[in-house]
Every structure is written in C-alpha cells, then in structure tokens.
Structure 1
C-alpha cells in the first residue's frame, strides 16, 4: 500500500484531509506526510482508512493494494475498479480543477502500470494519458510528455485505436502549447489517421489541425481544415463519446471552433460561436477548468 493510493481513494470518496483526520483520529499533518510518501504507511492507518471508506467495493483498500503487489491475482476486477475511480476523478476535476487531483492520479498511475503484465495495457494507457493532461495543466511539461509518450505506446500495444489516437492528440496539444508547432502538426496528422479510433477523436483533431495552421499563419489551409472539422463533427451527432473523451459533446465543438476563429483574427465570430457552444454544454462543464482555459484563449478577459 502506498501513500498516494490512500490519497486517491480519499479524494475519490469526496473526503477532505481534515475530515479524514477527524474520522481516523490522526492529525492532518501526519496523514499528509503519509499520503505524500514522507512517512511509511503504518498498518493502523490503512485500517483506519478502510473503516472510513466503508463497503464501496471500488474503494477497497486491500484489493487495490493487491493489484500493486500481485496484479495477476486480481484479474479484470482491478481494471474495472480503476476505470470507475478514473471516471470519478475526471468528474471531480471538472468541479475542483486539476491541481487538487494531480497528486492522487499519480498514485493510481502506479497501480495501473502494475496491471500491464496481467493484460492491463489499455487501462494503463488511459490513466497515463489523463495524468499527462494534468501534469501539463500544472506546468510539469517534462512529466506530461513522459506520461503521454507512455500512454501512446501502451495504447498502441493494447490494440485500442481510440486510446492510441487520444494519447497522440494530447501529445500534439502539449507540444503546441510548449511552442513546438512543427511537432504538433506532425503528431496531430498522425492522430487523425489512426485506424479504428472513435469518430469524435479525429473530429477534434481536425479542429486542432485548423488551430495549428492558423497559429502558423496559413489562413487558407486553416479555413479548409476548419470546414473539414465541421463536417467531421456533424457526423458524430448522436454518437456516445468514449469515456476518456466524455467532454466531446454538443457545445464543445462550438467552443473549439471559437478558438480557431480567434487565431484567424475573426474575434466577433469567435466569441459568438463559443458563447453559443457554452450555452448548450452540460451544467457540470460550465465551470470546468479546461473550459476556462479554452475561453481565455479566445478572449483573455472572458468571464
């Protein structure tokens, strides 16, 4: 059992550090040191967390600890548990932002990678890709690139085109925002052409391609790419997005279109398209940090 894993289970359960300290009768500073690997994990703390977390099988401390030490012994159940934990953490990020969930997801990344020899490459790819996004938002660019590179390799090894495509997409995104426009364009093009990917994923990457071309100053090609992106997005109407791309829904495309139009210097159109997109996004996305990042790229004064 590791401290980061205890922290992940606590965060997913929606329990703050002080509340966990009060319930377990340990001090917040002591638990913080354990969760941040500054102290070893005593068995009495594990027992206390187990009692607080209760009977939720997904948050079973012992089973997830077994997944680290003996991944073959837990089989597909651990992968299913991690999928639920990952989903909960993503939606928690929509509410509280990336910083608060990043330390926890680092712990779950360790668990997911332990499952690779037992056929868990797909799950490990999904977790590593999400970690890469979180590290990027936090400004940890080297860690982000490493996590996303691993995610792409794991996704390709798993045979899941959607996971491979998604990891490449994020690799391109992080390259673009670190200033490596040429690499971003190359990787985005590779992502678009990954066979077997869910249709919403290359649809997004066509918008990203248009964005990159606009940033490069090639307005003609950017507009052509934007039209292709619009057509690709229209073809996804009615499709359920993959769980690792759950935000690719009606409204998101309008915001992404606004990002491209802003780079093309069409500011009024950009704001209009993005505003219309925001209006139809699910309520849970309205205050998400990732949406705020997109809107501020359209207009730094957006509020």
Structure 2
C-alpha cells in the first residue's frame, strides 16, 4: 500500500489487518477499502467473515446498512478491534436493519476506493488490487443495469474507470490479452456513461500494449489514431506523443523521435489547471527530460541518456515505487552503456528488492534490457552474480 497514506491499516505477513485505524468513508467504502488492502476477493472475504457474498456486495455498494451481527463479523475478519461495529452504529442514524440507503454517496465512496487501489497498485503491483478491482467492477455494472437518470451515467462512467485501471494492472501482470479486454470494456462502459474521451485514451493504452509486445508499427499507428480521435484533448494527445516518441526511438528514427518529443512538450503547455486527468496518470508524471532520457536509451545514445537521468532527481521522479524502480533501472542501463558498470550495478542492487515486491512485467522488461547491456561489459565476479540474479528476476 502507499506508504504516504497515514490512515492505512497495517498488515501482517498473512495479510490480516492489525491496525484499528480505519480509512475515511462510510461502512461500505471502508469495507471495500480494507478488503482491497488485504487482496481479498468478495468470495474470500465472505468465507472469512462467514457472511454471504450477496451481503458483502450490497454493503459495499451502499444498497444496505449492516446489521450488528454482520458488522461484528466484518470487524472480526479484519481484526479492527470493534471499530467496524462502531462505524456501523454511527453511520446508521436510526435506520432499521437492512434498510435501503441512498445510493448517491456510493459513487463518491467508490471513487475514493479507486484512488486507494491506485495507490496500492503503484506501490505493491497488481497482485493486491486485481481481485478487488474485478469484484467492485461487477458490483458497479450490476448497479448500472438498474440505475436511472443521472445515476445511470455516473455509475457506468465509474465502472469504466475501474475497467481502465484493471486493464493496466493486467498489463503489469504480464497479460496483454486481458489488458486489451478490460480496455475495450472501459470504452463500452464509458460510452454508456456519456464519455467518449475514454475511447481516445484507450488507443494510447493499446499503443503501450503493442510497444511492450514488440509491435512498434502497431504502437505508432494506435498513437496516431489517438491524436486524430475527435474526442482527444491535450492530455490524451500528450500521452499519444509520448508513445510515438518512444516508438520512433525503438525503431532508431532519431528525427521522428525528436519531433514527437516537441509535440509532447507542446501539448503539455496546452494543459491548464492541476487537476488529475480524467484517464490515465498525470501526463507530466516525472519530467519531459525523463521521457527524453528514456528515448535516448532506446536510440542507444547512452551518454545523453546518462546525463539526462543524472540531472533529474527528487521531485522530478514520481514518488511511487513502480516509477522509481522503472527509472532507476533505465538509469543503470545508460550507465552500463557508458562502461560505468560499478555505478550501474550499485543502482540495480538497491532496486531489486522493490522490483521483487511490485512484480511488474513492464519493469521486468526494463530490467531485461539492463541485463542485455551489462553482459556486453567486462564484469567482476560480484557484478556477474548481480547480473545473473537480475536476469532470473527479469524472466519472472
């Protein structure tokens, strides 16, 4: 989970919550959040709490209030020392057991859960969030089929956001086919929610998936389609330019790469405000120099890449574990390319524990590139041991 979250419950090695501090939200939101932090599906939690799956879904979606017995069962399963029981009592406001509650706050609550899940995913990888993402998505799509008016659009749009991130987690888990399936669902559900921009952003996601499977031509085509999509905004066009720059770099086309980098900077300049983007990560995640450094790495301009990585530190690099591991390995690859293998191995040695934790297929791909470059250099016995350990981890 995100170490910056001061309200996060701690867990034991068995995955059981040990802190009595609850995250913010009503009973259903807290239930969904704690379940996500433990990596439990609805079925698994229902088994642990000896409560039916239907009751868990109704509680999380806000359709029902918890009875005292169910609240106590959830409290025991999470080990929250009575806090769940207290929360259930304080949030009921005199409502009868199993009264249907207002569904409006459910959307706000699940938006908070999605932010929580993204924080966990960025710091610990897909294994702790995927089951929760899928079960919450199922709850939302079931609710969307019966919702009317504004609630109908809002629920489907939120389901689309969950599907988009589930697709990203599938890619991080090394399953591109599943990533494409969830991305297509996000487009369908976004349309039901009245938002066509997800269709434009989905083309960016497809470009990234194609890039990681080695189909650079398809990646560039998807990026171009994203730019030309009628619903594309400056954020989506910037994301597309990022994909195009890296695609051209992989093909060895330095001129086209430079042009795409310029488009990336131009689109960033068009973005106003500091609100999180509707789809995908913040487009300025890190720094344009980090993107340029990554491109120089693919162009095998190791000297330029090493210099650019060296100048970017602190706030320029995103704080989440996934991004820091990714850019650390890329910097190490650049250093290996300029025969600074000792410095490169020092960086990788410090980063390997994080890579093992997050278990990201995209980070492992970067690690494989480091291994390939490092093996071209003259290495000491200790460095060879590290390179071999990196190779084993890179292959999953």
TM-score (structure 1 length as normaliser) = 0.73
**Are 1:210 and 2:245 matched, yes or no?**
yes
Q: Which residue of structure 2 lines up, in the alignment, with residue 280 of structure 1?
A: 315
Equivalenced residues, count = 270
Post-superposition Cα deviations, 1:140-196, rounded to whole Å, max 9, x if no partner, equal: 222212111211232344332443333322222112101222322222222223334
Which of 204, 212, 231 matches 2:266?
A: 231
Instruction: Find the aligned partners of 1:272 and 1:36 in 2 and give their Cα distance.
Output: 48
Deviation at 1:236, TM superposition (A): 2.9
Could you say what secondary structure the match of 1:248 adopts?
Answer: coil
Gaps of 5+ in 2: 1-6, 21-37, 52-68, 92-97, 334-343, 349-396
Aligned to 2:106: 78
Are 1:292 and 2:346 matched, yes or no?
A: no
Aligned counterpart, 2:130? 102
Q: TM-score, normalised by structure 2?
A: 0.58
- Separation of aligned partners in 2, 1:153 and 1:114: 15
CA distance in 2, matches of 1:144, 1:250: 21
Deviation at 1:125, TM superposition (A): 1.3
The corresponding residue for 1:7 is none
1:170-224: CA deviation from partner (whole Å, max 9, x where unpaired):
2221121012223222222222233344522321220111111221233322221
Greater share of residues in helix: 1
User: 2:185 aligns to what?
Assistant: 150
Give the SS at the match of 1:14.
Answer: coil
Larger deviation: 134-143 or 242-251?
A: 242-251
For the 8 Å contact 1:115–1:124, the answer to whether it is kept is: no
Name the structure 1 match of 2:168: 133
Equivalent residue of 1:201, what SS? helix
Alignment RMSD (CA, Å): 3.5
- Is the 1:128–1:150 contact (alpha carbons within 8 Å) kept by the matching residues of 2? yes
Structure with max Cα Rg: 2
Q: How big is the shift at 1:85?
A: 0.2
8 Å CA contact 1:152, 1:168 repeated in 2: no
CA contact (8 A) 1:254 1:273 kept: yes
